[in-house]
């Protein structure tokens, strides 16, 4: 048990994006067998769409990072529901991590820890700093991807569990 944290890239696909040539083939693959009948009914009305989540980052008991997402993206509500994250929020988190790494005395002000049930240490020690470095390493390539043309079709979603 403990605080597990996940960042996903979510890709949306709808039948309106398919060419007429691809439509018949794709609609057969679009839904799993158990939803086939429902999928066919939806397809008749051009409502067919799906989303696919790709896990791109993971933390364990990095409660300062969790606290950032809860405060910034979930309006302070910490209930383990997935929340959408803006690209600018990821950039800000990287910036804050770098600033705290360079100026550890600002940690409590810029990226405060958050106590909770098996949330890990609330100390501002070497492990706190290691989590910030790890966060920068994980988020930089994600930010770069999202800024590219390929990344424009994705949303970012954060979710935690404990």
22, pLDDT greater than 90: no
- Rounded distance between C-alpha atoms, residue 145 and residue 30, angstroms: 26
**Residue 85 lies in domain:** 4-10+58-161
How many angstroms from the chain centroid is the CA of residue 46? Answer: 29
For 15, the token pair is 């039948």
Whole-number Å distance between alpha carbons of 99 and 106: 8
Report yes or no on 147 lying in a domain: yes
DSSP lists the bridge partners of residue 8 as 55, 157
Would you state the pLDDT for residue 117? 76
User: For 46-54, what is the mean pLDDT?
Assistant: 76
Q: Is residue 45 part of a domain?
A: no
Q: Is residue 120 part of a domain?
A: yes
The more confident residue out of 157 and 120 is 157
Does 21 reside within a domain? no
pLDDT digits (tens, 9 = 90+) for 92-131: 999 999 999 999 999 999 999 998 778 889 999 999 999 9
The strand pair at 4-14 and 83-85 is best described as: unpaired
110 part of a folded domain: yes
User: Could you tell me which residues come within 8 angstroms of residue 112 by beta carbon, excluding any fewer than 6 positions away?
Assistant: 64, 67
User: How is 15-30 classified by DSSP, letter by letter?
Assistant: GGGS-HHHHHHHHHHH
Query: Does residue 112 contact residue 63 with C-beta atoms inside 8 Å?
Result: no
Output the pLDDT for position 12: 81
Cα(151)–Cα(149) distance, integer angstroms? 5
Examine the pLDDT at 90 and tell me if it is beyond 80: yes
Is residue 148, in this structure, part of any structural domain at all?
yes
Residue 68 pLDDT exceeds 80: yes
- Number of domains making up the chain: 1
pLDDT at 162: 87
DSSP H helical ranges for the chain:
20-30, 36-44, 63-73, 87-102, 107-110, 126-147
> If pLDDT is split at 50, 70 and 90, which confidence band does 15 have?
low
Residue 27 domain-assigned (yes or no): no
Query: Average pLDDT over the chain, rounded to whole?
Result: 87
């Amino acid at each position: 048990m403990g605080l597990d944290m996940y960042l996903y890239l979510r890709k949306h696909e709808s039948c309106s994006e398919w060419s007429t040539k691809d439509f018949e083939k794709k609609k057969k693959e679009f839904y799993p067998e158990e939803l086939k009948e429902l999928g066919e009914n939806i397809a008749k009305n051009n409502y067919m769409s799906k989303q696919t989540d790709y896990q791109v980052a993971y933390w364990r008991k990095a409660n300062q990072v969790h606290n950032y997402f809860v405060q910034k993206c979930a309006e302070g509500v910490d209930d383990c529901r997935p929340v959408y994250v803006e690209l600018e929020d990821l950039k800000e988190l990287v910036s804050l991590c770098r600033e705290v790494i360079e100026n550890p005395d600002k940690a409590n002000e810029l990226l405060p820890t958050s106590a909770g049930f098996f949330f890990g240490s609330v100390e501002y020690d070497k492990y706190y700093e290691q989590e910030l470095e790890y966060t920068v390493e994980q988020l930089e390539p994600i930010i770069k991807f999202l800024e590219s043309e390929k990344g424009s079709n994705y949303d970012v979603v954060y979710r935690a569990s404990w």
